[in-house]
């Protein structure tokens, strides 16, 4: 009941970190869309691990196999299912975790919820690996949106205490957005990259990890998309983004910054630009009453530091109900934020496409 999302586009994500395979079914894609598989692979490669000292050395080789949903390379109306085989798994690394939960992970909550029957290896269904199928579906959504003139792109807005220049929520163009998102280290202001990388490496050397913030924009969404209340764009986007492991906060436009503003500052004044209704600021992140107002959609997601760290931590033995020290082995990202940039784009694209259909 949990791993399914959407109104008109139904998304079903399945798999565990170390099961035979993982995948996604998307039901409701428009028929007749030819998927550019080369670009899709490039998109998935942005999320894939094993590329740099900033990320986990686990290599996934995320080759997608489409089981169905395509005919002659184009969507055919039927549900589309893409799967990825799990190879290169090292279950042994996790043998101990069913009894001694890792702080910050879902080990303990899954054990209680499923009464000890959960798959503890590699985080099971809660693994960050499950963002790969989200990216399969999201990568397709991005292509469909682009054909409709909608561009979605994200950047690293913050790593630990190092911050990037935010997107210009009023003037950002599709080309600029794409250029930033496709950088090897996606920041608006390249000069902040070294400090961010240094923060990550410092944490890595300390057997630790760091958190960060990703900012995502969508340009070109028509006015009037979304619904009031529980199906507002903010509710839909937030429900999707909080499904991404490690996200602990979501805000739109000025977000938490609105709290310190006066109405006269925060209200986005209307104007006419090139014959269209626009606003001269974008504190509302392109959304009013849950519905798009034609300005760029601006959303930020806060990521906690990867909970898997090498330093010894306080845990408990669930079987003995006593306190116990835990040292986690295995291969982990010192910072999930870089690889999460395409994941956020995928999540935003899927939520917007669902609202748009």
Asked if 340 and 54 touch (Cβ cutoff 8 Å), the reply is: no
Bridge-based pairing of strands 276-279 and 270-273 is antiparallel
Asked if 167 and 217 touch (Cβ cutoff 8 Å), the reply is: yes
Burial zone of 138 (CB within 10 Å; 0-12 exposed, 13-18 middle, 19+ buried): buried
Q: Of 190-209, which residues contact its own copies (CB under 8 A)?
A: 203, 206, 208-209
Residue 267 in contact with its own copies, rule: CB under 8 A:
yes
Residue span binding its own copies (CB under 8 A) among the ranges 50-58, 145-153, 174-182, 237-245? 237-245
Determine the Cα–Cα distance for residues 212 and 299; give it in Å rounded to an integer. 14
Of 161 and 189, which has the nearer Cβ to its own copies? 161
Site string for its own copies, 283-302 (x = CB under 8 A): xxx-xxxxxxx--------x
Of 184 and 272, which has the nearer Cβ to its own copies? 272
Residue 166 in contact with its own copies, rule: CB under 8 A:
no
Determine the Cα–Cα distance for residues 225 and 74; give it in Å rounded to an integer. 26
Give the count of beta carbons closer than 10 Å to the beta carbon of residue 259.
8
Asked if 336 and 128 touch (Cβ cutoff 8 Å), the reply is: yes
Of 39 and 248, which has the nearer Cβ to its own copies? 248
Residue 238 in contact with its own copies, rule: CB under 8 A:
yes
Residue 215 in contact with its own copies, rule: CB under 8 A:
no
Give the count of beta carbons closer than 10 Å to the beta carbon of residue 37.
14
Of 108 and 185, which has the nearer Cβ to its own copies? 108
Q: Of 39-78, which residues contact its own copies (CB under 8 A)?
A: 65-71, 74-78
* Site size with its own copies, rule: CB under 8 A: 150
Of 2 and 184, which has the nearer Cβ to its own copies? 2
Residue 213 in contact with its own copies, rule: CB under 8 A:
yes
């Amino acid at each position: 009941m949990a791993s399914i999302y959407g109104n008109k586009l139904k998304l079903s994500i399945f798999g565990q970190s170390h099961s035979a395979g993982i995948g996604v079914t998307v039901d409701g894609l428009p028929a007749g869309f030819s998927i550019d598989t080369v670009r899709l692979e490039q998109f998935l490669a942005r999320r894939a691990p094993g590329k740099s000292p900033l990320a986990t050395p686990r290599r996934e080789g995320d080759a997608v196999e489409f089981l169905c949903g395509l005919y002659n390379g184009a969507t055919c109306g039927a549900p589309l299912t893409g799967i990825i085989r799990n190879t290169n798994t090292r279950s042994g690394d996790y043998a101990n975790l069913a009894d001694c939960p890792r702080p910050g992970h879902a080990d303990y909550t899954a054990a209680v919820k499923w009464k000890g029957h959960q798959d503890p290896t590699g985080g099971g269904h809660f693994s960050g690996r499950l963002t790969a199928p989200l990216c399969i579906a999201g990568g397709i959504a991005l292509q469909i949106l682009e054909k409709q003139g909608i561009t979605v792109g994200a950047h690293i807005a913050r790593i630990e205490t190092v911050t990037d220049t935010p997107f210009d929520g009023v003037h950002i163009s599709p080309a600029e957005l794409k250029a930033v998102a496709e950088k090897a280290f996606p920041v608006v202001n390249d000069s902040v990259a070294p400090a961010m990388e240094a923060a990550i490496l410092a944490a890595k050397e300390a057997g630790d990890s760091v958190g960060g913030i990703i900012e995502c924009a969508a340009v070109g969404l028509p006015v009037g998309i979304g619904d009031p209340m529980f199906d507002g764009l903010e509710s839909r986007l937030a429900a999707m983004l909080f499904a991404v492991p490690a996200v602990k906060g979501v805000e739109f436009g000025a977000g938490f910054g609105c709290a310190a503003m006066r109405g006269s500052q925060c209200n986005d004044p209307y104007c006419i630009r090139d014959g269209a209704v626009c606003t001269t600021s974008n504190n509302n992140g392109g959304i009013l009453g849950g519905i798009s107002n034609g300005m760029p959609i601006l959303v930020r997601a806060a990521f906690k530091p990867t909970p898997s760290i090498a330093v010894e931590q306080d845990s408990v033995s669930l079987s003995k109900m006593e306190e116990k020290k835990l040292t986690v082995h295995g291969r982990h990202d010192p910072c999930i934020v870089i690889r999460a940039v395409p994941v956020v784009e995928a999540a935003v694209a899927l939520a917007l496409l669902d609202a748009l259909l």
